[in-house]
């Protein structure tokens, strides 16, 4: 039996593994895809304290090496469910079961995609899902934001203070975001609102040079020259396998506070998968540390 099973190997999960292993606990980390999570798509990370610039992939690779050196076990397995078994927790995967004294859920989120050809190729080369993370790279340039909710409008406002021009593209005739955000955008001289429009194609070879816009009413297409396109059409948490065990909010995020405790004793949530306002690399790392320390205290209480 393992002291701590961590589900998810993004920044939060790997940080939790680091702290738990250094506390002398046996740790098993389960990941269904690749280690590092969304940060591996960022070619340049310049807002992580103490590191002037690093690629997301390099940052994640360094953390993987660090936890493996500490003896953390890792398995590429898809978790299908969790259930209590007395004071223990059973984690069911497509390959079998694992038993742990405590669990940390750090499954992260995935950003909704536009579903266009070469979208993954251009991610980090003009295409982004986070203006706070990458907006500074496009200072003084022409950019665009796709989406009509609060996140999209907030991203556009943030970019408008950095970029020469920001075009907000939304497929409907009105935005869903807060009225105050819409009013703020209307007051920015360098913001253009393109309603009844979708991005129908991405342009550029090695990096984004523009997009093709299509009017949803007439079908007419036109070229828009931009070097940065920020996609803000929603996020998808991956917490379905835990819905019968921990409480989720209406959007599917795990209800857990800054202490990372969920509604089930011995189960903790860290990173983007929990209900929170700020989702950044630094906050994920902070969550991972908090969850590991809380889980270690819980494991110690069982002995």
Query: Looking at the annotation, which residues are catalytic?
Result: 130, 133-134
**Burial 68-82, CB ≥16 within 10 A → b, else e:** eeeebbbeebebeeb
- 212: helix, coil or strand? strand
Instruction: Give the angle subtended at the CA of 110 by the CAs of 98 and 124, to the nearest 5°.
Output: 125
Q: How far apart are CA 129 and CA 227, in angstroms?
A: 14
Q: Which residue carries 């070097």 as its tokens?
A: 227
Nearest to 6 by CA among 259, 297, 267: 267
**Are 144 and 224 in contact, with CB atoms under 8 Å apart?**
yes
Number of H helices, E strands in the chain: 7, 17
Q: Which residue carries 């076990």 as its tokens?
A: 73
């Amino acid at each position: 039996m393992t002291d701590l099973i961590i589900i998810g190997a993004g920044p939060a999960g790997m940080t939790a593994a680091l702290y738990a292993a250094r506390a002398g606990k046996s740790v098993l980390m389960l990941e269904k895809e690749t280690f590092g999570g969304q940060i591996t798509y960022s070619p340049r990370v310049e807002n992580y304290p103490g590191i002037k610039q690093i690629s997301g992939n390099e940052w994640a690779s360094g953390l993987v090496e660090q936890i493996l050196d500490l003896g953390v076990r890792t398995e590429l397995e898809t978790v299908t469910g969790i259930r209590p078994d007395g004071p223990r927790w059973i984690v069911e995967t497509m390959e079998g079961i694992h038993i742990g004294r405590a669990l940390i859920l750090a499954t992260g989120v995935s950003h909704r995609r536009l579903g266009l050809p070469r979208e993954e190729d251009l991610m980090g080369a003009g295409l982004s899902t986070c203006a706070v993370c990458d907006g500074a790279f496009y200072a003084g340039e022409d950019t665009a934001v796709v989406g009509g909710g609060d996140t999209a409008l907030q991203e556009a406002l943030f970019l408008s203070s950095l970029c020469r021009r920001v075009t907000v593209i939304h497929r409907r005739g009105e935005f869903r975001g807060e009225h105050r955000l819409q009013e703020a955008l209307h007051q920015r001289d360098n913001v253009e609102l393109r309603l009844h429009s979708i991005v129908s194609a991405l342009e550029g070879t090695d990096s984004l040079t523009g997009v093709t816009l299509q009017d949803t009413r007439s079908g007419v297409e036109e070229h828009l020259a931009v070097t940065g396109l920020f996609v803000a059409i929603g996020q998808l948490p991956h917490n379905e396998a835990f819905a019968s065990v921990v409480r989720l909010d209406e959007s599917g995020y795990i209800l857990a506070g800054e202490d990372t405790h969920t509604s089930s004793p011995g189960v903790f949530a860290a990173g983007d998968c929990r209900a929170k306002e700020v989702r950044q690399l630094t906050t994920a790392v902070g969550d991972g540390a908090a969850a590991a320390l809380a889980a270690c205290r819980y494991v110690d209480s069982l002995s």
